[in-house]
Amino acid sequence: MHGIFGGGDKRVKIKSCKTTGVASAPRVVEHHRVRGAAYSVIHWGKATRAVLMVTPASRGPVDEQAGEAVRTIRATLKKQRGLQTVTVQTVFLRDAKDQAACERVFAAHYGAEQPVTTYVWQPPCDGAALAIEAWAVGGDVQVRRPLPNVLTMTCNQITWTYCGGVALPATRGEVYKQSLAGFRQLDAMLKKAGVGFDHVVRTWLYLGHITGPEGDLERYMELNRARTDFYRRIRFGRGHLMPRVERAVYPASTGIGMKGRGLAMSATAVDTLRKDVMWLPLENPLQTPVYQYERVYSPKSPKFVRAMAAVMGEHVTMWVSGTASIVNSKTQHVGDPRMQTEQTIDNIERLISHENVADHGLRGAGAALADMARVRVYVKRPQDYQVCRAVCEQRFGKVPIIYTVADVCRSDLLVEMEGVAFVRRDALR
């Protein structure tokens, strides 16, 4: 292992994992910038995918900002080859009351082809009324909308199912019931689309007042209790696990705070009959798997893996879970937003590296930070935004990023990040 564990406020260093003597394959992901947006184009077999991170430049009324955002999305997608369909979007709001205005704008723009839309009460760090992460697809692909906020995308005999927009109202003293209801709602939506919850590879859980009290515990601990109980009888990855997977298998996930006391949820599932499609849960040698955390962090540990890699022939997708400045299971650099940002990126870099993926049994499929299609950065304190952004721009380069203000699941954590990387299996660098 290349990590060097230091005490006190020392940062855990990571050696670069490079492969020499092997011809480099072109990257799957291309990064671009236009006014009001940064976006990536992913070349994925017979399909082309795009992810846009859009923040309006104007600071007028919310409907004007939302209109500017959808015009930016439309103009950007028109420049791509072939017809592009927006499949899923996450809308980060400064004020929850602005959701209705955004819904009217999206209804006018998308009409009957509404993407799966999840609204999250997390103010964009730059002061905009909203920011949007939107995914689109084009090429030889079939898109189906079996019910509102559920969409399936089939390409290369693989079906991706997106469901979102699950929003449960604020409650007091009932986070456990609220969370169970959310998981059951996602399960029902997936079943109506013809896929079981055991095919879920990624979840997003946005909990209001996440570190607030809930009886003798914290609200996030009660969410973890509900997730543990709901997952108890589910065998994730059944029939598609890589050989010799000996670790626990759960979806990749983000559990992050938002304003208010409500709960918002979304999920992605993948289903196929292809025998060359396999799941590989990834853990970070610098970090204790979260499902093995000590009880002090949560009486029932969070049930997710650090990342989930999906091997689809020569293509590999890596969903990186919510990641923070943690080594083993301990928070590092308490009170220092710059060093927490650095450590968080170090953890992501190590997690997706060629060396770590090879150690998990999959050679030639690791990724670098530049292979990420997008990153979300959740900043607890607005005053830390510029410091975090400077570090992220230096480390991630042109990777599209959205920064939002959000509480993190531990009181001493100031930053959390997540992302997704795309590589070809033979893309050794």
Q: Is 150 exposed, middle or buried (0-12, 13-18, 19+ CB in 10 A)?
A: buried
Is pLDDT at 4 greater than 60 in this prediction? no
Instruction: State residue 22's pLDDT score.
Output: 37
Q: Which residues of 278-307 are buried (b: 16+ CB within 10 A; e: fewer)?
A: bbbbbbbebbbbbbebeeebbebbbbbbbb
Identify the pLDDT of residue 245: 86
Other C-beta atoms lying within 10 Å of the C-beta of residue 145: 16
The gap from C-alpha 209 to its chain's centroid, in whole angstroms, comes to 20
Mean pLDDT in residue range 284-306: 92
pLDDT at 305 over 80: yes
DSSP 92-118: EESSGGGHHHHHHHHHHHHTT-PPEEE
Q: What is the dihedral of CA 48, 201, 329, 227, to 10 degrees?
A: 140
**Which residue(s) pair with 155 in the sheet?**
158
* pLDDT score at 230: 98
Torsion of CA 419, 394, 52, 46, to 10 degrees: -70
Residue with the larger pLDDT of the pair 25 and 123: 123
Q: Is the pLDDT of residue 429 over 50?
A: no
CB of 250 closer than 8 Å to CB of 282 = no
Q: Is residue 122 a contact partner of residue 230, using CB atoms and an 8 Å limit? A: no
Tokens 């209109």 locate to 67
Give the span between the Cα atoms of 140 and 157, in whole angstroms. Answer: 11
Among residues 91, 188, 184, the alpha carbon closest in space to that of 130 is found at 91
DSSP class of residue 24 equals P
Could you give the residue ranges of the DSSP H alpha helices within 116-232?
Answer: 175-192, 219-231
* 320 has a pLDDT exceeding 90: yes
When pLDDT is averaged across residues 117-146 and rounded to a whole number, the result is: 97
Residues 6+ apart with CB under 8 A from 4: 12, 13
For residue 17, pLDDT beyond 50: no
How is residue 358 written in tokens?
A: 């090879």
* Separation of alpha carbons 261 and 47, rounded Å: 39
What is the pLDDT, as a whole number, of residue 82? 80
Does the predicted model carry a pTM greater than 0.85?
yes
Provide mean pLDDT across the span 57-83. Answer: 94
pLDDT value, residue 15: 44
Tokens 């050696």 sit at which residue? 15
Query: How many CA atoms within 13 Å lie on the side-chain side of 104?
Result: 8
State percent of the chain over pLDDT 90. Answer: 84
- Please tell me the predicted confidence (pLDDT) of residue 9: 45
